[in-house]
A = this chain, B = another copy of it.
């Protein structure tokens, strides 16, 4: 069992990573007998895990209610979040309830924001079931729902009481979703850890076959890297923005194509190539390193071109809604080398458009 602590003073919390965690109620610390729980999951995961978890916790003396939401990024909305509030109020659950988010990033982000907002804040436990959410969205307390005019525009910084990562969940994950998670994994290597990037180049095939040991190491390393960044910068004033490599471009793809048509990791993969090309154009990132990034993403089965339907000009209006925009100016996360990156402002729109054009399928 791998265990990490995210250090945030009185909001510190543990992340537990292992196979078989769903077989032991102790995994779900700090739940104890007598507690009330609202288990939030989606229609795809409910038949796989809901009965098992519900039975496990009930046997441990926890009172379990549940709410099952439709599956998909398009349901990460205020209106769907309201269904969670309705379920909580119908029982009713009090301020001493605990929300469990059982699912990927959509369930985690939405349930986290629901927990932050229900009665102005109740406890919640993240149980991420996708690789993407295991290495990314379950760590760091960013919760949110989407708005038709922008992704993750409504939310809160709100930390879980604990994160429970059962790697067995990955066996039920579709290959596209696995690849989408690998995009975020590769991102950590590019922005923060050149050695880890090299490890990924050597071990990607093991990850693609869900080798237990390799996968556990990979998830732990990503969580560690993210936990370090978050601990240093909980509210994303500085270094934490680095985690957004590829996201400014990628969010534009997701928004333009309609949420859910391109998976988050797919959009971020193409976005990271665009960021790499932007950095290359500025003379701060070597062409050889661009090629290493592209090669690794391609081996993971990820797109390295933007969508054919989308012109370079289509990106900018979406990019200008990015949360990093300050005083109307774009700020981009750009790599300096594999393992080192920076937030940079003052990049001209022409430079950004040229890099996006470089990433069009020819």
Contact = CB atoms under 8 A, between A and B. Distances in A.
A173 interface: no
A114 B155 CA distance: 9
Nearest to A321: B92
A24 interface: no
A55 B134 CA distance: 50
Interface in A80-98: 81-82, 85-86, 89-90, 92, 94-96
A208 B156 CA distance: 42
B323 A85 contact: no
Contacts of A116: 156
A117 interface: yes
A79 B78 CA distance: 8
A154 B121 CA distance: 9
A327 interface: yes
A308 B285 CA distance: 76
B155 A117 contact: yes
Interface residues on A, range: 35 or more
A147 interface: yes
A233 to B, nearest CB: 14
A231 interface: no
Interface in A101-155: 113, 116-121, 142, 144, 147-150, 153-155
Interface in A36-95: 78-79, 81-82, 85-86, 89-90, 92, 94-95
B156 A117 contact: yes
Nearest to A145: B117
Contact of A95 (B78, B95, B157, B326): B326
Given A92-B321, A149-B86, A323-B95, A142 B120 contact: yes
A154 B320 contact: no
A325 interface: yes
Interface string A316-346: 0000110101111000000000000000000
Contacts of A157: 120-121
Contact of A325 (B82, B94, B156): B94
Among A142, A150, A235: residue with most chain B CB under 10 A = A150
Among A94, A116, A148, A157: residue with most chain B CB under 10 A = A94
A116 B270 CA distance: 32
Contact of A147 (B85, B95, B144, B328): B85
A120 to B, nearest CB: 5
Interface string A149-187: 110011111000000000000000000000000000000
Contacts of A96: 326-327
Contact of A323 (B90, B119, B320): B119
Given A94-B325, A118-B153, 7 more contacts: A85-B154, A94-B327, A96-B326, A113-B117, A117-B156, A118-B154, A120-B323
List 9 A-B pairs, minimum CB-CB distance, nearest first.
Answer: A89-B149, A92-B321, A120-B155, A94-B325, A117-B154, A119-B323, A78-B78, A85-B147, A89-B150
17 contacts: A85-B147, A86-B149, A89-B149, A89-B150, A90-B149, A94-B325, A94-B327, A95-B325, A95-B326, A113-B117, A116-B156, A117-B117, A117-B156, A118-B154, A120-B144, A120-B156, A120-B323
